[in-house]
Amino acid sequence: MTRTTKFTQFARLAGTAAAVALLGSMAMAQDTIRVDQGGDITELCGSDPIRVALVDGWGGDTWRKITFAELQDEASKCPNVTAEDHTDAGGDQQTYNAAINGYATQGYEIILAFTDFGEAAMPTYRMANGNGTTMVPYFTDLPGTDGVDYAVNPYQDSIAIGNQYAEWMAKALDGEGNVLMLGGPPGASSSSSFLKGFKEGLANHPGLKLLDDDFISTNWNPADAQKAAAGLIAKYGDTIDGIASDFGVTTLATIKAFNQAGVEVPAMATIATSNELSCLYNAGLEDGTAWPYLAVDGSTGDVRFALRAALAAHNGIEWDEPLGVVPYVYADSTQNIVPKCSDIAPPDADLSSLMDEEKLFSLFNR
């Protein structure tokens, strides 16, 4: 589902019948927008002071640190907007909920929350939204109602990305082969969306066979991903031709498992890459061991869309920007697009960030 953020002053009357009807009429089936093609935030700043807080369910890795830096970079374009507060819930939903409630109680004008806990956090979003606070969960497309369950819900269009994976697999494998999908914890909503899109795309290519009807759980953890990949190699041997994944960390772990098993690495399609993965691929290009590879990225920039949508809602400004965001192509072996590799950035750094290189690398030195 794609929607467009288009707010007026009436949208601030969250919870009223008029607001719900208005927001419902504004939901439009429009194309998603690429993450590197967003609008100009300065049109949305307003003049009143606005404090922005970011809440992560899991926030300790470099990807999340870059995301927060991207938020601060985007907010810096508005002299009245500050984004200095960030909570990492450490994987605990109660801590996550408490952080949102705390910022709302303190009267923060905007709260952005990464949708790590999916629909389970909807009651918290609903309680936080209103009374001067604009609550914006982002990344997963939630089933709630804008202006009621939250102010607005920008999201990564995982279904569209899954479709893109399938189309690329068909190209890379000449339309024939056995493929699999790696995801996060069992039942993870974002992984399910990736898989749905992947299956939709595969339906157009009958020569591509999905070996498992569900995604293979990795818990988005490299150790678990490597174990899962070892199990797949034990089960299918060298008959796996392509693997799609919704996280570069698990893709890297899977490649390592194939290398350790002495089995040729299959075609890999992934998102949210890392410096280590890119450098490994580039080294493979040099020594002839590279695998067919697609990386779509820029995902740390999704938070910029969330901030713009939040400001539009908070300030009652009409704003046409699709809420569905898709990444740009960062690496593609079929088009000779090579990813960045750095010998000074951390191994888990995502160098596809929309920040300029000087700002990005200064983050690694903190």
DSSP string, 220-235: T-HHHHHHHHHHHHHH
pTM of the entire predicted model: 0.85
Spatial CA neighbour of 41 closest among 317, 324, 342, 350: 317
Give residue 61's Cα distance to chain centre: 14
Residues 6+ apart with CB under 8 A from 4: 26, 27, 28, 30, 320, 321, 322, 323
Residues 6+ apart with CB under 8 A from 145: 20, 23, 24
- Please report the DSSP string for 325-337 in residue order: EEPEEEEETTTTB
Q: How far apart are CA 257 and CA 245, in angstroms?
A: 15
How much is the pLDDT for 365? 79
How much is the pLDDT for 188? 82
How much is the pLDDT for 12? 36
- Say if 4-157+300-327 and 158-299+331-364 have the same CATH topology: yes
List per-block mean pLDDT (blocks of 10 residues) for the chain, which spans 366 residues: 35 34 34 93 98 91 91 98 96 96 98 93 98 96 96 96 98 98 89 96 98 96 96 98 96 98 98 96 97 97 98 96 97 98 92 93 85
Rounded (10°) CA dihedral 256, 188, 168, 350? -60
Select from 3.40.50.2300, 1.20.120.1770, 2.60.40.1180, 3.40.50.300 the CATH code of 4-157+300-327: 3.40.50.2300
Class of domain 158-299+331-364 (CATH, top level):
alpha beta
How much is the pLDDT for 63? 86
Ordered by start, the domain boundaries in the chain are 4-157+300-327, 158-299+331-364
How much is the pLDDT for 30? 52
CA 92-97-98 angle, 5° bins? 100
How much is the pLDDT for 19? 32
